[in-house]
Amino acid sequence: MTEANDRPLEDERSFVGVPDGFDRLWTPHRMAYVTGERPSDEAGEGCPFCVAPDKDDAEGLVVHRGETCFVVMNLFPYNAGHVLVCPYRHVSLYVDLTDEETAEFTALTKAAIRALQASSNPHGFNLGMNQGAVAGAGVAAHLHQHVIPRWGGDMNFLPIVAQTKALPILLEDARAALVAAWPDAQA
């Protein structure tokens, strides 16, 4: 095959391994979203929020364990330090929590904010629950509240043009900082 000026075209295989000037952020864990794989709606092994408390804290990314609820790092964070407050019990809606669970759910949300303030000094927070898949819940069957620290200028063009987040800290390091700053740890 030739170009319009009758020069032969180069074989695309000749470019394999040739630097192209682009940096790449490899995120193979995101393929679950690309392929449409979703966690199970069933309690137990298919639910990440049922499984996390069964692991040791570091492996399960658990920040704090309460009596009826726990705090865990988000495996797919919107921002560095993004945590989730979850009941141990596999329920899908906020209104399904018992009064005891609701009180601890709220107390752990407040404690997570305090720990994030102490460990990373964010300028603000996003708090929220997406109840049901249609509302945006990735794990709709197990209630969880997002606590997302925010800083001025923390978003850039990467999410828009590359559907990629640049996180300046590893999950393990963010978890360790939060554990050390957890309000109970200082008492």
The set of catalytic residues is 144
3-state secondary structure the chain: CECCCCCECCCHHHHCCCCCCCCCCCCHHHHHHHCCCCCCCCCCCCCHHHHHHHCCHHHHCEEEECCCEEEEECCCCCCCCCEEEEECCCCCCHHHCCHHHHHHHHHHHHHHHHHHHHHHCCCEEEEECCCCHHHCCCCCCCCCEEEEEECCCCCCCHHHHHCCCCCCCCHHHHHHHHHHHCHHHHC
